[in-house]
Amino acid sequence: MARPVIAVLNGPNLNLLGERDPSVYGSETLADIEARCAAYADGLGFDVDCRQSNREGELVDMVQDVRHGAGIVINAGAYTHTSVAIRDALVTVTCPVVEVHISNVHARERFRHYSYLSAVVTGVIVGLGPQGYELAIAAVAARASTT
């Protein structure tokens, strides 16, 4: 039988992880993080569907596409702080959603302190590096309906 699927969605510039700014984002690449997510989810009995886009509308399409799955982990990157469109898409989701930020956005510039997404998701994990994705998968898995 097919296993439940948790979507892991990443936004703009996160495809560059590991290439620049290791003091802020660490040295793991997005491929490393996606492999970590797959291994962690596997241990909990879930598959992952990892996607990344630099385009706001594509992220909206992705959210719509996975909104009835087992759960969503989303790091919308800079769109977190600007996107009413991604927020509106998240409102339509029927599964648990956890917003993740690798860096502690509250310890950074003021414009990163506000998230358009936080009020419409199940929970938020910030500042714990790539481990935040695993913590988000654990939280989603614990709340997922697998029937």
Q: Which residues bind ligand CA2 (CB under 6 A)?
A: 13-14, 16-17, 19-21, 25, 75, 77-78, 80, 101-103, 105, 112
Which of 80/83 has CB closer to ligand CA2? 80
Q: Which residues pair with 50 in a beta bridge?
A: 8
CB 101 within 8 A of CB 125: yes
Select 96 or 132, whichever has its Cβ closest to ligand CA2: 132
Report in angstroms how near the CB of residue 67 gets to ligand CA2 at its nearest.
21
Q: What is the DSSP string of 18-71?
A: TTS-HHHH-S--HHHHHHHHHHHHHHTT-EEEEEE-S-HHHHHHHHHHHTTSSE
* Closest approach of ligand CA2 to the CB of residue 123, in Å: 15
Q: Could you tell me which residues come within 8 angstroms of residue 35 by beta carbon, excluding any fewer than 6 positions away?
A: none
Question: What dihedral angle (degrees, nearest 10) is formed by the CA atoms of 83, 90, 48, 16?
Answer: 0
Q: Which of 93, 102 has the CB closer to ligand CA2?
A: 102
User: Which residues are catalytic, by number?
Assistant: 25, 101
Residue 75 CB, shortest distance to ligand CA2, in Å, is 5
